[in-house]
Each structure stands twice: as structure tokens, then as C-alpha cells.
Amino acid sequence: MTKPSNISKRRETALKEGSSDYLAKREELVEIAAGQFKQSGYRATTLAEIGRKAGLDRATVYYYFGSKEELFREILRTGVDANMRECVRISQDGTLDPVEKLKRVIRQLMTAYDEHYPHMYVYIQEEMERIASEQSVWAREIIGQTRKFERIVTNLIEEATSAKLLRSDVPVSVSANAIFGMLNWTHRWYRPGGKYSARLVSDSFASIFIDGMRA
């Protein structure tokens, strides 16, 4: 078994101690990395480049993160987890009908794209299917979250169809993919603080979908 390097031991100790300065620098690196991955792509971005923008040399970056993949994981973790918790809560709200739940799930994902920009878009941009093919525990967890979201949307469409709130002549999988396509394509054009707010975009998408699908 390979013994952990001195720098990895120092990193583990610093994480356990959790000093405000250390955590602040980690957060700064996450923000810089997210911007670089969005701009240049994961493959083209280097740790040295991220370190330069943070005023650190490449060796010092390892004191905060063990690899570029670890940075990528941290970029996704917060946004994906928070979004999924809220989508599950909406889907289990017994006071709402399936169509209203669907509207709110669409709004929630668009809100997450806005609040965690560009972090969550990095995942879409970096090819979800490529990540799905990886065998790491982290990749399986992220794909599991994605599949869970897809099931929530699909189940809500099925419930709305069964309740005759949405038309049944369009296959559920086609309807669900229409929603995923609208939302995921925003990574090409949406910017927080731009001409259109996340709320306006999500409500417009919901109207386009639901008005076209009403029974």
C-alpha cells in the first residue's frame, strides 16, 4: 500500500481543523476552477492555471486539493445536493397537484443553475454521459442524483397524465426529455443578472410545456 505523501497528510489535517483562512482559500479555488472549466473546459484547464489566478504555485494548490478531479467534485457537490433535496421536498408535497409540482421542479432547477452559476453548468458542459462511464464512487453518486431527478420529472408527468391533467398521446419519455432539453440547453446562453431572470425563464419553459400538454 502506498503511504500518503506529506502534502496529503497536511491537507487532511487542515481540513479536520477547518480554519477560516484555509476554508476561504478552498472556496476561492472552487470559484476560480468553476469559471475556468466553464470557459475553457475541464480537459484544457490545468491546476497550475487555477493556482496562478489564486496567487498560488501549483505545489501549494495540492495543500488545498489533491487533484483537478477533486476540485471538479467539490464544484458539483453543493449545488447538486441542495437542488435534489428541494426537488424531493416538492415531489412529496401532498398539498400540490402533479402539474403544480412539475412547475415548481422546473423553477427549482433553473434557480439552482442561477444560484450555483457556473458550477452546475460545468457538469452539463463536461458531458454527463462521459462522467456516467467512469467507475469511481463519486461518478456513480453524481449519476445517481441525475437519475433521481429524471425519475421525479417522469413520475410527475405520469401522475398528471393519469389524472387527465396532461394529454396522454405523447409518450412520457418524450415529454420528460423535452423538459430536460429546455433546461439543460440554457448552459449555452443563460447568465445570472442578464436580460432574463431565472424565474422568468423557468416560468416560460413551464408555460410552453404545460400549455402544449394540457389534456
CATH number of residue 22's parent domain: 1.10.10.60
- pLDDT level of residue 127 (50, 70, 90 thresholds): low
Question: Among all chains, which residue has been given the C-alpha cell 437519475?
Answer: 147
What cell does 70 get? Answer: 477533486
- How do residues 103-121 score in pLDDT, each as one tens digit? 999 999 999 999 989 888 8
- Nearest CA to 120 out of 92, 83, 85 is that of 83
Considering the chain, what percentage of its residues have pLDDT values greater than 90? 67
Reply yes or no on whether the pLDDT at 4 is more than 60: no
- Nearest CA to 210 out of 166, 154, 147 is that of 166
Give the pLDDT confidence score for residue 122 in this predicted structure: 82
Reply yes or no on whether the pLDDT at 99 is more than 70: yes
Q: With H, G, I as helix, E, B as strand and everything else as coil, classify residue 166.
A: strand
Reply yes or no on whether the pLDDT at 140 is more than 70: yes
pTM of the model: 0.80
**Together in a domain, 165 and 91:** yes
Residue 89 falls within a domain, yes or no?
Answer: yes
Give the pLDDT confidence score for residue 186 in this predicted structure: 96
Residue 171 falls within a domain, yes or no?
Answer: yes
Give the pLDDT confidence score for residue 5 in this predicted structure: 72
Question: Among all chains, which residue has been given the C-alpha cell 431572470?
Answer: 197
Q: pLDDT higher for 77 or 106?
A: 106
Give residues with Cβ within 8 angstroms of 116, minimum separation 6: 78, 79, 82, 83
**Together in a domain, 39 and 85:** no
Q: What is the dihedral of CA 136, 148, 112, 34, to 10 degrees?
A: 10
**Together in a domain, 200 and 125:** yes
Residue 56 falls within a domain, yes or no?
Answer: yes
Structural domain for 45, as ranges: 6-66
Q: Are 29 and 68 in contact (CB under 8 A)?
A: no
Instruction: Give the number of other Cβ atoms within 10 Å of residue 160's Cβ.
Output: 25
List for the chain the helix, strand, coil content (%; round to 5): 75, 0, 25
Boundary (domain end) residue, out of 49, 66, 83 = 66
**Residue 140, amino acid:** R
Question: Among all chains, which residue has been given the C-alpha cell 433553473?
Answer: 110
User: What is the distance between the alpha carbons of residues 144 and 140, in angstroms, rounded to a whole number?
Assistant: 6
Q: Are 45 and 68 in contact (CB under 8 A)?
A: yes
**Together in a domain, 161 and 86:** yes
Residue 116 falls within a domain, yes or no?
Answer: yes
Boundary (domain end) residue, out of 66, 91, 116 = 66
Give the pLDDT confidence score for residue 153 in this predicted structure: 98
